[in-house]
Amino acid sequence: MIEWYIYIIVALLPLTAVMLVRSQNPYHALVIRGILGAIAALVYAVLGAADVALTEALVGTMLAITLYAVAVRSSLVLRLGVQESEFQGDSCDRFWGLLWRELSGIFDSYYLRLELVTYASPEELHQALHNEDIHAIAETTNPEPPVEGTLEAETKPFIVTTRVRRIYELMQTDLALTNPRLLLSSDRSDERSDDRSDVGVNQV
């Protein structure tokens, strides 16, 4: 005869599975997945399948959670490329700081970690985006330092270009304080084609 407490332990399996499926935070999902594996191992042990319980604990729980944690940590990163000249060491001006804080706040709500990648020149920056080494780039529309007391000194317009449409949609919806110009990489390609066409017409 099966003891009553075994029914309670077994009932925890589908309950934990539902919590796992409904979890939106990937890190919470990892914890719940570990709990699910521990409950399954406990059930096997109580029912006398010690070898299966040991396999579940080592492979189904410990190894799986470790691999999932590595995958989640490496995949939930948004790499933002900028020019190295915009930063001196670990410091940047207040406009870049404002943009960084706003982008971090937006992507934190989607459990994305923002990572800054610097490049020496605009050509390297755009090539990295083209090669899909980074997800987005941020540039200033005016590379020269603004004159104190002018309107440009109070606002620093940015162009943020991304190759990922979903990221573009998120920034278009939530990015407001710095009010940058947002572009998809395909839009920038079209823009450059138009520029080349204009140059050809002028030369003719």
Q: Which CATH number is 118's domain given? A: 3.40.190
Q: Is residue 51 part of a domain?
A: yes
Residues 67 and 85 in one domain: no
Residues 94 and 63 in one domain: no
Residues 68 and 161 in one domain: no
Contacts of 87 (CB under 8 A, 6+ apart): 96, 118
Cα–Cα distance for residue pair 188/127, rounded to 1 Å: 13
Residues 64 and 163 in one domain: no
CA angle 155, 128, 199 (to 5 degrees): 70
Q: Where are the alpha helices (DSSP H) in 47-109?
A: 50-55, 64-75, 94-108
Cα–Cα distance for residue pair 152/41, rounded to 1 Å: 64
Parent domain of 43 = 4-74
pLDDT tens digit sequence for 114-172: 888 989 888 999 999 999 899 999 888 765 544 444 434 445 678 889 998 988 888 88
Residues 113 and 128 in one domain: yes
Among candidate residues 103, 109, 189, 93, the one with its CA nearest the CA of residue 142: 93
Residues 96 and 181 in one domain: yes
pLDDT band at 101 (very low <50, low <70, confident <90, very high): confident
Residues 122 and 167 in one domain: yes
Task: Give the helix/strand (H/E) hosting 182.
Answer: strand 181-184
Say whether pLDDT at 106 is over 50: yes
Residue 135, pLDDT score: 92
Residues 58 and 101 in one domain: no
- Please give the residue that has the higher pLDDT: either 93 or 105: 105
Indicate the DSSP class of residue 85.
G
Residues 104 and 11 in one domain: no
Q: Is residue 198 part of a domain?
A: no
Indicate the DSSP class of residue 57.
I
Last residue in a domain, options 50, 74, 98: 74
Q: Which of 2-16, 88-102, 121-135, 165-179 has the weakest average pLDDT?
A: 88-102
- What value does the mean pLDDT take over residues 172-194? 66
pTM above 0.75, yes or no: no
Q: Is residue 196 part of a domain?
A: no
Residues 82 and 157 in one domain: yes
Residues 24 and 52 in one domain: yes
Q: Is residue 195 part of a domain?
A: no
- Please give the residue that has the higher pLDDT: either 137 or 3: 137
| Most confident range, picked from 50-54, 87-91, 178-182 | 50-54
Q: Is residue 193 part of a domain?
A: no
Q: Is residue 203 part of a domain?
A: no
Residue 104, pLDDT score: 86
Residues 63 and 83 in one domain: no
pLDDT tens digit sequence for 15-41: 999 998 898 888 888 899 999 999 999
CA angle 176, 122, 192 (to 5 degrees): 80
Task: Give the mean pLDDT of the chain.
Answer: 78
Q: Is residue 42 part of a domain?
A: yes
Say whether pLDDT at 200 is over 50: no
Residue 70, pLDDT score: 86
Cα–Cα distance for residue pair 168/69, rounded to 1 Å: 27
- Please give the residue that has the higher pLDDT: either 187 or 5: 5
How far is the CA of 74 from the CAs of 67, 105, 111, in angstroms?
11, 19, 12
Please answer whether residues 125 and 82 qualify as being in contact, where contact means their C-beta atoms are separated by less than 8 angstroms. yes
Number of domains in the chain: 2
Please answer whether residues 106 and 174 qualify as being in contact, where contact means their C-beta atoms are separated by less than 8 angstroms. yes
What separation, in Å, do the N-terminal and C-terminal C-alpha atoms of the chain show? 94
Phi, psi (deg, nearest 5) at residue 18:
-65, -40
Residue 88, pLDDT score: 58
Last residue in a domain, options 47, 74, 101: 74
